[in-house]
Amino acid sequence: MKSLTKVTIISNLEVAPGAYVLSFPRSFEFVPGQVIGIAMNPADKPRLYSIASGNKENVVRILYTVKPEGKLTPDLARLHAGDTIYVSEPFGGFICDEQKAVWVATGTGIAPFSSMFYSGLGKNKTLIQGNRFANGLYFRDDFEKEMGPRYVPSCTREQVAGVYHGRVLKYLSEKKDLDLSVKYYLCGSAEMVVDVRDLLIERGMPFENVVAEIFF
């Protein structure tokens, strides 16, 4: 991991039960889709987080959920504006160009796509976003407004008007007209990424057109 720099938190807001958006001033360039390491102290082993904000914004935003037994996230959730954390320089290769493509995300796996979206890369993309409950469809209002029918929200544990009921895997497996000529970018749990990748490959998608990032 690259060296860590101290930054001062601007805000740390709970956006859904156990899910937070933390922001701090941007002092580096990054490519949407990249990650940074975050630690409470310089000696701690940093955890990785995708940047969720656009690459021209003055602030960097991180979307995270609290793992109750985790080392970092319970402490992170207790921080307020004015507190400090340590962050690494951005790195990572989960990046996307302006070509037409499909983005598939579950949970906090939406973060790299929200960075791409807020950086202006959402114009010819389809976004399929899943979570258990509709309040975990982070940034949904902005996606809906900008992407219209190219945005597909889905949740598994509740039925909500305008939201597909079921897993993103089920949505894709029911779709008869999957566009196999474009790249699919997948981000979220290992289970979702592996299942969706397998489905796409079974349907005839070339392996190299499936680009994935697993949050573990």
Ligand X SMILES: Cc1cc2nc3c(=O)[nH]c(=O)nc-3n(C[C@H](O)[C@H](O)[C@H](O)COP(=O)(O)OP(=O)(O)OC[C@H]3O[C@@H](n4cnc5c(N)ncnc54)[C@H](O)[C@@H]3O)c2cc1C
> Which residues are at the interface with ligand X (CB under 6 A)?
35, 47-50, 63-65, 67, 69-73, 108, 111, 213, 215-216
Nearer to ligand X (CB atom), residue 136 or residue 153: 136
- Shortest Cβ 184–ligand X spacing (Å): 18
Q: How far apart are CA 28 and CA 34, in angstroms?
A: 12
For 90-114, b/e burial (b = at least 16 CB within 10 A) is bebebbbeeeebbbbbbbbbbbbbb
CA nearest to 5, candidates 86, 77, 71, 81 = 86
Nearer to ligand X (CB atom), residue 50 or residue 154: 50
Nearer to ligand X (CB atom), residue 32 or residue 164: 32
Question: In this structure, what are the phi and psi dihedrals at residue 39, rounded to the nearest 5 degrees?
Answer: -140, 155
- Shortest Cβ 176–ligand X spacing (Å): 33
Nearer to ligand X (CB atom), residue 38 or residue 196: 38
Q: How far apart are CA 45 and CA 134, in angstroms?
A: 33
* C-alpha torsion sign, points 101, 117, 137, 210: positive
Shortest Cβ contact with ligand X: which residue? 70
- Shortest Cβ 214–ligand X spacing (Å): 7
- Shortest Cβ 187–ligand X spacing (Å): 8
